[in-house]
Amino acid sequence: MCGITGFVSQKFNIEHLYKMTRSIKHRGPDTEGYFYDESSSIGLGHRRLSILDLSEHANQPMTSHCERYVIVFNGEVYNYKEIAKNIERTWRTTSDTEIILEAFVEYGEDFVHHLNGMFAIAILDKTENKLYLFRDRFGIKPLLYFFDGKTFAFASELKALLSLNLPKILNKKAIKDYLFLEYIPQEQTVFNHYFKLKPGHYLILKKGRETEIKQYYDIIDKLKPNTSISEEEAIAKLKEKLAQSIDLRKISDVPIGSFLSGGTDSSLICSIFQEINSVPIETFNIGFDITQYDESGFAKRVSEVLKTNHHYQLVNDAEAKKHIEFIVDYYDEPFAVPSVIPTSILSKKTKEHVTVAFSGDGGDELFMGYGYYNWHTRIEKLKKLGGKSAVKLASILLSTLNNKNKRAARVMDIPDFENNWMHIWSQEQYMFTEKEITQLFNEPYKHTSTFQNWQKIDALPIHPFEKISLFDIQNYLSNDLLHKIDIASMSSGLEVRVPMLDHNFVEFAINLPMNLKIKDGEQKYLLKKLLSSYLPKELVYRQKWGFPAPIGYWLKTDLSYLIDDYLNKEIVEQIGLFNFNYIEKLVHEFKSGSDFHYKRLWALIYFNMWYNRWYISKIE
């Protein structure tokens, strides 16, 4: 696991390469390396977190045996030994980097289909003066680039690109999408001319001026209509596939462990990981000293049953709140996800013991674990009973009751019944509605960034829940959850691996029948059935918690100063994007008891904190 950087531009020299690469030294604290060709104005930089082949021979940038190609690579390719068997070389290292590079020499662009893992790869063809960028199938590893038609640069994190002092023009459309979704979607970033390479895609830069982007993987192509399988066979196959993925991801030359929240996904991964391990595995969890946000008791009980070597630490209010002060340094574009706080703290604590950890990300998307599936069902029932008017009436009635029901009223106040899924998702996350964003900016807003992707999925002859699941895999997973865990873990030099996102496991899961994902109202049905063979039912069949932080409580108490500091008239008008009167009204309602506004206020606070750190301030 590492950080990569590079550029093709006569504007830059070796000093620029040093600066951008060292800006992400947290991603690779062990060593750094550089390739720079002054005649072609091409630079490649690398920060290394040593995981496989700890020797200096595996350092990057690495040149191919034929000396034509140079690679910098972030991630892990777990099947590299299998790939090596089909390539005739005398290997110089035991690293996956060398084999990945030689696979490109052997197979050309098609080499990417051979890779099983998480990766962001840059390969320079010195002869043809071509630069290739590849990103893994599901976006586990990030890869961003700047291109304005003349200057090209890429990096693992936006902050490395910003260190080049290229133009920073705010992307207002992306900011509106952020306030609707809690993250910036698709290939957009918060600045114009800065982009994310989408998962399952690769980019070719020819002679520094011409870009071509190709898609090499689409999960939709892996759907197999009318797949039939019994429950017993599905459970056996689920265990087999997940065990294969975990076993493949065990490969490491440094200590490895696993996050254990006590929820379904991490508990199942730890159960199988422990089963195939000969000694107790290392598991990690943190807890808050606010009871309603502390799931650590469940994790402790799971650990006792599985007999893992469990590491637990209670995080007090003061430590958690202090962490808010520097998460904006990690997340270098707006990202309104409060769970970045516990995730960052957990990563830091985990790194004290291991360098690699497993995570359960992907389970909710593949097996339909989110609350908005229930909202979709409720709304469809109301529509059948009385049409759209019944849904509107329910929304009006609920808005007259308590906070919980007022929040429900917002979910059901649907502006567009043809695309109600997106509104439901936004309100399930407590974010701004399209109508509210229109008021906030004093100009019309309609969310369109993800529509093209949805339209392709919506045309499929499958259950509506399966459509939402596919959409989440392609959007929410990569732009939100995987972004969160990558930045949080790499800020501490910790590599996180996600067994449920092995593409073989994903392709198996998406083709399971609906009634094995949600059955008799039980979400993640098949995962829980398998987990029941390891844990007592009271640890399996319980309320879903997630991994939240008590931001709403803090904004009412010790962090109320953030409202005063970042949502005051002076700073809002200085930024010049938002309607202060609307924000003032929102703050007043929150302080008067409308607690469900907390996430909207946090999104605005975080944006203004980000603006002060990454837009106004000089980039260090």
Residue 330: name the closest of 498, 181, 483 by CA: 483
Q: How confident is the model at residue 542 (pLDDT cuts 50, 70, 90)?
A: confident
The whole-chain average pLDDT of the chain stands at 91
**Beta strand pairing status for 42-48 and 201-206?**
unpaired
Q: What value does the mean pLDDT take over residues 47-63?
A: 80
* Residue 293 confidence (pLDDT): 62
Q: What value does the mean pLDDT take over residues 186-215?
A: 95
Question: Please, what CATH class does the domain formed by 221-323+332-368+474-540 belong to?
Answer: alpha beta
More confident residue, 308 or 417: 308
Lowest mean pLDDT among 141-150, 457-466, 517-526, 546-555: 546-555
Q: How confident is the model at residue 249 (pLDDT cuts 50, 70, 90)?
A: very high
* Binding-site entries: 96, 286, 359-360
Distances (CA, A) of 101 to 44, 75, 116, 261: 15, 14, 14, 37
Q: What value does the mean pLDDT take over residues 145-169?
A: 96
* Residue 252 confidence (pLDDT): 86
Q: How confident is the model at residue 311 (pLDDT cuts 50, 70, 90)?
A: very high
Q: What value does the mean pLDDT take over residues 163-177?
A: 95
Verify whether residue 2 is a known catalytic residue: yes
The span from the CA of 380 to the CA of 57, in Å, is 60
How much is the CA Rg of the chain, to the nearest whole Å? 24
**Beta strand pairing status for 194-196 and 144-147?**
antiparallel
* Residue 407 confidence (pLDDT): 78
pLDDT tens-digit readout, 401-411: 677 777 777 88
Q: 228-250 burial, b if ≥16 CB within 10 A, otherwise e?
A: eeeeeebbeebbebbebbbebbb
* Residue 194 confidence (pLDDT): 97
pLDDT greater than 60 at residue 618: no
What is the SS3 assignment for 399-440? CCCCHHHHHHHHHHCCCCHHHHHHHHHHHHCCCCCHHHHHHH
Which residues fall within 8 angstroms of residue 354, CB to CB, at 6 or more apart? 254, 255, 256, 257, 282, 494
Range picked from 393-397, 504-508, 554-558 for highest mean pLDDT: 504-508
The span from the CA of 295 to the CA of 216, in Å, is 40
Identical fold between 2-217 and 221-323+332-368+474-540: no
Beta strands in 39-156 (DSSP E): 42-48, 62-63, 69-77, 117-125, 130-135, 144-147, 152-155
The span from the CA of 487 to the CA of 156, in Å, is 10
Which residues fall within 8 angstroms of residue 497, CB to CB, at 6 or more apart? 76, 118, 249, 356, 357, 358, 359
Residues 198/58, Cβ–Cβ less than 8 Å: no
Q: How confident is the model at residue 384 (pLDDT cuts 50, 70, 90)?
A: confident
Q: What is the CATH number of domain 2-217?
A: 3.60.20.10
Q: Where are the alpha helices (DSSP H) in 4-140?
A: 14-22, 80-85, 96-107
* Residue 620 confidence (pLDDT): 37
pLDDT greater than 50 at residue 255: yes
* Residue 158 confidence (pLDDT): 97
* Binding-site entries for L-glutamine: 96
Residues 91/99, Cβ–Cβ less than 8 Å: yes
Distances (CA, A) of 415 to 302, 432, 447: 44, 13, 12
* Residue 333 confidence (pLDDT): 95
pLDDT greater than 70 at residue 186: yes
**Angle of CA points 156, 160, 163, to nearest 5°:** 170
Q: What value does the mean pLDDT take over residues 241-262?
A: 94
pLDDT greater than 90 at residue 528: yes
Residue 146: name the closest of 207, 194, 201 by CA: 194
Distances (CA, A) of 557 to 315, 354, 472, 553, 561: 18, 35, 34, 6, 9
Q: What value does the mean pLDDT take over residues 218-225?
A: 92
More confident residue, 173 or 94: 173
Q: Which residue among the candidates 2, 8, 248, 366 is catalytic per the annotation? A: 2
Lowest mean pLDDT among 194-203, 354-363, 540-549: 540-549
Q: Where are the domains of the chain?
A: 2-217, 221-323+332-368+474-540, 550-620
* Binding-site entries for ATP: 286, 359-360
* Residue 418 confidence (pLDDT): 67
pLDDT tens-digit readout, 445-467: 999 998 888 888 989 999 999 99
* Residue 230 confidence (pLDDT): 95
Q: What value does the mean pLDDT take over residues 30-40?
A: 92
Q: How confident is the model at residue 58 (pLDDT cuts 50, 70, 90)?
A: confident
Residues 47/21, Cβ–Cβ less than 8 Å: yes
Beta strands in 169-276 (DSSP E): 194-196, 201-206, 210-215, 256-259
The span from the CA of 3 to the CA of 34, in Å, is 12
Give the predicted TM-score (pTM) of the model.
Answer: 0.94
pLDDT greater than 80 at residue 7: yes
CA distance from start to end of the chain: 23
pLDDT tens-digit readout, 267-280: 999 999 999 998 99
- Specify the 3-state DSSP secondary structure of 254: coil
Residue 477: name the closest of 509, 438, 447 by CA: 509
* Residue 290 confidence (pLDDT): 65
**Beta strand pairing status for 256-259 and 282-288?**
parallel
Residue 432: name the closest of 444, 420, 443, 440 by CA: 440
pLDDT tens-digit readout, 571-580: 999 999 999 9
Distance from the Cα of residue 216 to its chain's centroid? 20
Phi, psi of 240 (to 5 degrees): -60, -50
Q: What value does the mean pLDDT take over residues 312-335?
A: 84
